[in-house]
Amino acid sequence: MDIKKIFENNKEWVQERLSAEPEYFKKLSQGQSPKILYIGCSDSRVSSEELMGVGPGDVFVHRNIANMVPNTDLNSMSVINYAVEHLEVEHVVVCGHYYCGGVKAAMQSSDLGLLNPWLRNIRDVYRIHKEELSLIEDEDERYKKFVELNVQEQCVNVIKTADVQKAIRKRNLSVHGWVFDIHSGKLIDLKIDFDAILENIMEIYRLDD
Ligand SMILES: [Zn+2]
């Protein structure tokens, strides 16, 4: 793609928006109050807003390799803090995707230099769920399940934070685990049973006000 084309596209987009709603950008500049925090993968094929059919102002978005929420990652922790404490979003979504390169890399033993510590967080997910994953003989199916379990573990990491625990107690914030299936274009709700998971983990991770 010609990089200059992007500016032409932008001009067209501004015109389209203004012809549909003359005050569009004026309204947009007045502030944001998104109801959803979306944490997804940086993969160029997983275009978050487009696949959800939402526009500017609708969703607060954080993307990184393999939609991770590492406990000591200041970037994702700051995004969660700002979205939950200040924007007061009602939903936090962790959205993974099948055929994720980051998850695939964590299934292999190559030394990828600077990427190693990031991928190690994904390898930790494999270790936690090794028993379940090793029972799946078909590699493709195991890869898919690993993507799903990674989403689940990142949701758990979201729930470990004090901001999210407080918002769940005080205003019923909900956490969701989704997967985007690149092969079909469908968004899948993993319907993770957080009550069961929480019962299991809150003894360890509970933080009181
Ligand atoms: Zn990915």
Distance 30 CA to ligand 1 centre (A): 33
pTM of the entire predicted model: 0.95
What's the confidence (pLDDT) of residue 194? Answer: 81
What's the confidence (pLDDT) of residue 28? Answer: 95
The answer, yes or no, to whether residue 195 has pLDDT greater than 90, is: no
Q: How far apart are CA 98 and CA 147, in angstroms?
A: 6
Distance 122 CA to ligand 1 centre (A): 12
41 in a known ligand binding site: yes
What's the confidence (pLDDT) of residue 208? Answer: 85
> Which pLDDT tens digit goes with each residue over 80-135?
999 999 999 999 999 999 999 999 999 999 999 999 999 999 999 999 999 999 99
155 in a known ligand binding site: no
Region 5-34 average pLDDT: 97
**Any bridge partners for residue 92, and if so which?**
37, 175
Region 7-11 average pLDDT: 97
Nearest residue to 96 via CA among 189, 198, 205, 1: 189
What's the confidence (pLDDT) of residue 197? Answer: 80
Sorted by where each begins, the domain ranges of the chain are 1-30, 32-205
The token pair at 159 is 């729930």
189 in a known ligand binding site: no
> Which pLDDT tens digit goes with each residue over 24-70?
999 999 999 999 999 999 999 999 999 999 999 999 999 999 999 99
> Which pLDDT tens digit goes with each residue over 151-173?
999 999 999 999 999 999 999 99
Distance 96 CA to ligand 1 centre (A): 7
What's the confidence (pLDDT) of residue 1? Answer: 83
Contact call for residues 108 and 57 (beta carbons, < 8 A): no
The answer, yes or no, to whether residue 182 has pLDDT greater than 90, is: yes
The stretches of the chain forming alpha helices (DSSP H) are: 3-20, 24-28, 48-52, 74-81, 101-106, 116-128, 130-134, 139-160, 162-171, 194-205
**The domain 32-205: what is its CATH number?**
3.40.1050.10
Region 185-196 average pLDDT: 92
95 in a known ligand binding site: no
Distance 46 CA to ligand 1 centre (A): 8
Q: How far apart are CA 103 and CA 143, in angstroms?
A: 8
What's the confidence (pLDDT) of residue 102? Answer: 97
As annotated, the active-site residues are 41, 43, 45, 97, 100
Q: How far apart are CA 196 and CA 193, in angstroms?
A: 6
Q: How far apart are CA 24 and CA 21, in angstroms?
A: 5
Q: How far apart are CA 97 and CA 100, in angstroms?
A: 6
Q: CA dihedral in degrees (74, 197, 83, 186; nearest 10)?
A: 100
